[in-house]
Amino acid sequence: MPEGKILKALSGFYYVMSEEGIVQCRGRGVFRKNKVTPLVGDEVVYQAENDSEGYILEVKERKNELLRPPIANVDQALLIFSAVEPSFSTALLNRFLVLVEYNNIQPVIVITKMDLTNENDREQIKRYSMDYRNIGYEVILTSSETEAGLEELYPHLEGKISVFAGQSGVGKSSLLNALKPDLDLKTDNISSHLGRGKHTTRHVELIKVGNGLVADTPGFSSLEFLEIEQEELNFCFPEFQRASENCKFRGCLHLAEPKCAVKMGVEEGSIPEYRYSDYKDFIQEIRERKPRY
């Protein structure tokens, strides 16, 4: 039986890329019965009815999956944040990083709209970039207008399934248009009243960019920590995880415990204070989360 990868899911149809080309498939009824929903990014086995139509028979094991947006087998997440319009938000970036780390997806931080910055903006972005690079994250500064930073971005896409994620209005579609001009994806300007853009992407689809596949997604519709337990949050902050090896207590939550290496790192300046502040807020949020039954 032929095999392929789902590039797009729309109105009950799955568009599968295989050696034979793109085949429009439906899912067999057995999926509904077994509560299996094929996702964009899935490797599947299908049965061809003719050259362009068929049925998906089997969904192969996934290495990861996101439910919002619905996509599987993601290699990396390009977290798209604008330097200005809307303003760069470390709190929102840290939230995205936790969710991506929890799902074992490699993050790359991409800061857009550098052409719109003034000197103060650039200094601030430079400081934040240094902080995140010191943690171990890749940070790329870009502009879709001037195409600055695009050459640095291309190699990261090679041979991978990448998700573009970030709040609306930061220029995800503009960046994709700059990377692949024939896409001509719809973009909307920022609403000055709301300080954010309108969603212009309606469904998840994998687009070939260079030798990689990129998902322009409608964004994470939920940024809540629904699955993460407070004991797991430390593992979503790489610099905390490294420092915690020197904490006095195993399983230290880095809150009120004595001789905590993470708190020591914050005091000494080796761990950014705003990262620790967000960590404490996230712990509180997890503790106040309503139980699900």
pLDDT for res 50: 87
Say if residue 235 is exposed, middle or buried (CB neighbours under 10 Å; 0-12, 13-18, 19+): middle
pLDDT tens, residue order, the chain (293 aa): 899 999 999 888 999 999 889 999 998 876 777 778 899 999 999 999 888 899 999 999 999 888 777 889 999 999 999 999 999 999 999 999 999 999 889 999 999 999 999 999 999 999 999 999 999 999 999 999 999 999 999 999 999 999 988 887 888 888 988 998 887 665 544 333 333 344 344 578 898 998 899 986 655 556 788 889 999 999 999 999 999 999 999 999 999 999 999 999 999 999 999 999 999 999 999 999 877 65
Cβ pair 172, 80 in contact under 8 A:
yes
- At residue 206, the 3 state secondary structure works out as strand
**66 strand-pairing partners:** 71
The architecture in CATH of the region 67-216 reads: 3-Layer(aba) Sandwich (3.40)
d(CA 2, CA 86) in angstroms, rounded, equals 46
pLDDT for res 293: 56
Cβ pair 80, 107 in contact under 8 A:
no
* pTM score, whole prediction: 0.86
- At residue 267, the 3 state secondary structure works out as helix
The CATH T-level fold of domain 3-61 is: OB fold (Dihydrolipoamide Acetyltransferase, E2P) (2.40.50)
pLDDT for res 82: 96
Q: Produce one character per residue of 36-65: b if its CB has 16 or more CB atoms within 10 Å, e if not.
A: eebbbbbbbebebeeeeebebbbbeeeeee
d(CA 131, CA 266) in angstroms, rounded, equals 13
Q: Produce one character per residue of 174-192: b if its CB has 16 or more CB atoms within 10 Å, e if not.
A: bbbbbbeeeeeeebeebee
d(CA 111, CA 79) in angstroms, rounded, equals 8
Q: Superfamily for 230-287?
A: Probable gtpase engc; domain 3 (1.10.40.50)
> Could you tell me how many helices (H) and strands (E) the chain has, helices first?
9, 13
- For residue 81, give the H/E element and its range: strand 76-82
Cβ pair 215, 184 in contact under 8 A:
no
**How many Cβ atoms from other residues are within 10 Å of residue 101's Cβ?**
20
Domain ranges in the chain are: 3-61, 67-216, 230-287
Cβ pair 39, 72 in contact under 8 A:
yes
